Amino acid sequence: MQIGIIGSGNIGGALAHGLTRAGHDVVLSNSRGPDTLRDQVAALGDHARAGTAADAAQADVVMVAVPLRAVGDLPDPALFDGRVVVDANNYYPGRDGQIAALDDDSTTSSELLAARLPGARVVKAFNTIPAGRLRDDGHPELAPDDRPAIPIAGDDEAAKATVAGLVDDLGFTAVDHGALADGRAQQPGAEVYGAELTARDARAVLA
Ligand SMILES: NC(=O)c1ccc[n+]([C@@H]2O[C@H](COP(=O)([O-])OP(=O)(O)OC[C@H]3O[C@@H](n4cnc5c(N)ncnc54)[C@H](OP(=O)(O)O)[C@@H]3O)[C@@H](O)[C@H]2O)c1
């Protein structure tokens, strides 16, 4: 499966590392352009290449791992129509600026991304786990319930199944706890955010 990554820093880099090791072809992108990703791509091997964010948006699955304030700078929303878009972003006002609709909890950061990309099939995932653990803590040898959890939320069941498959490839287990709006239960400050939970335990917390 071809996977595009928009934002190739801590979390995008960890995703690229694990997904290429699992045999997926990955297109990495950032804000400064493909030339600046040459070393990172070389270190990842033959399954990785650098592109523009618009190139990455053409993949089967597109990971968005940018500071939330940069969501407005994503390429033409039409490029994302029909694609599975994984939202790994979090809202940190100190970094992103105050966003009133998030401050008063009338919406969620993933719903803001979905509003920006109305044709995309947005799934919230990978936002709760620190990048270092995403890179190093996958355990494919463990039974699914005993692996570290990756909470996911979204409105499109087929898209969530696709993302759950990628989570599995990385040695984690996806814990689907509902619609995109339910993703507020995995935002910063929520019980599962940053917690080291097995899938079994995360399912109990999110029930
Ligand atoms: N760090 C973690 O452990 C972690 C864990 C879970 C979730 N998250 C969330 O994931 C997101 C990214 O965090 P991070 O720590 O990975 O950030 P980071 O290391 O600062 O990397 C951000 C990446 O986004 C790129 N970027 C910024 N604006 C862009 C744009 N308009 N178009 C394309 N790419 C753009 C940057 O490219 P340039 O360098 O070229 O500007 C960089 O590659 C945040 O929302 C964060 O809250 C982080």
Instruction: Give 159-177 pLDDT, tens digit per residue.
Output: 999 999 999 999 999 999 9
Question: Strands 84-87, 25-29: parallel, antiparallel or unpaired by DSSP?
Answer: unpaired
Instruction: Give 147-159 pLDDT, tens digit per residue.
Output: 999 999 999 999 9
Q: Please tell me the predicted confidence (pLDDT) of residue 113.
A: 98
Q: Is 58 exposed, middle or buried (0-12, 13-18, 19+ CB in 10 A)?
A: middle
Residue with the two structure tokens 């008063």: 104
In this structure, which residue's CA is closest to atom 34 in ligand 1? Answer: 30
Q: Please tell me the predicted confidence (pLDDT) of residue 183.
A: 98
In this structure, which residue's CA is closest to atom 15 in ligand 1? Answer: 10
Q: Return the C-alpha torsion angle 173, 154, 56, 8, nearest 10.
A: -60
In this structure, which residue's CA is closest to atom 41 in ligand 1? Answer: 31
Q: What mean pLDDT do residues 130-144 have? A: 97
Q: Given a cut of 90, is residue 1 above it in pLDDT? A: no
Task: For a ligand 1 pocket test, name from 5, 6, 8, 10 the mutation site with the most ligand atoms within 8 angstroms of its C-beta.
Answer: 10
Look up the CATH number of domain 2-206: 3.40.50.720
Q: Please tell me the predicted confidence (pLDDT) of residue 32.
A: 98
In this structure, which residue's CA is closest to atom 21 in ligand 1? Answer: 9
Q: What mean pLDDT do residues 48-68 have? A: 98
Q: Please tell me the predicted confidence (pLDDT) of residue 65.
A: 98
Distance (Å, whole) CA 118 – CA 80: 8
Domain residue spans of the chain = 2-206
| Alpha-carbon distances, residue 12 vs 59, 64, 102, 106, 113 (angstroms) | 15, 8, 23, 28, 17
Which ligand 1 atom minimizes the distance to the CA of 75? 32
| Alpha-carbon distances, residue 148 vs 25, 44, 120, 185 (angstroms) | 24, 24, 27, 17
In this structure, which residue's CA is closest to atom 37 in ligand 1? Answer: 30
Take residue 150 and report the two structure tokens written for it: 């990756």
Take residue 114 and report the two structure tokens written for it: 């979905």
Mean pLDDT, the chain, rounded, equals: 98
Distance from the alpha carbon of residue 103 to the mean position of ligand 1, in angstroms:
21
Q: What mean pLDDT do residues 76-93 have? A: 98
Distance from the alpha carbon of residue 204 to the mean position of ligand 1, in angstroms:
30
Q: Please tell me the predicted confidence (pLDDT) of residue 121.
A: 98
Instruction: Give 31-53 pLDDT, tens digit per residue.
Output: 999 999 999 999 999 999 999 99
Taking the CA atoms of 10, 70, 4 and 117 in sequence, report the sign of the dihedral they define: positive
In this structure, which residue's CA is closest to atom 7 in ligand 1? Answer: 127
Q: Please tell me the predicted confidence (pLDDT) of residue 125.
A: 98
| Alpha-carbon distances, residue 90 vs 25, 32, 60, 77, 164 (angstroms) | 26, 21, 23, 20, 20
Residues 6+ apart with CB under 8 A from 25: 1, 2, 3, 47, 48, 49
* Ligand 1 surroundings by CB, under 6 angstroms: 6-12, 29-32, 53, 65-68, 70, 73, 88-90, 127, 130-131
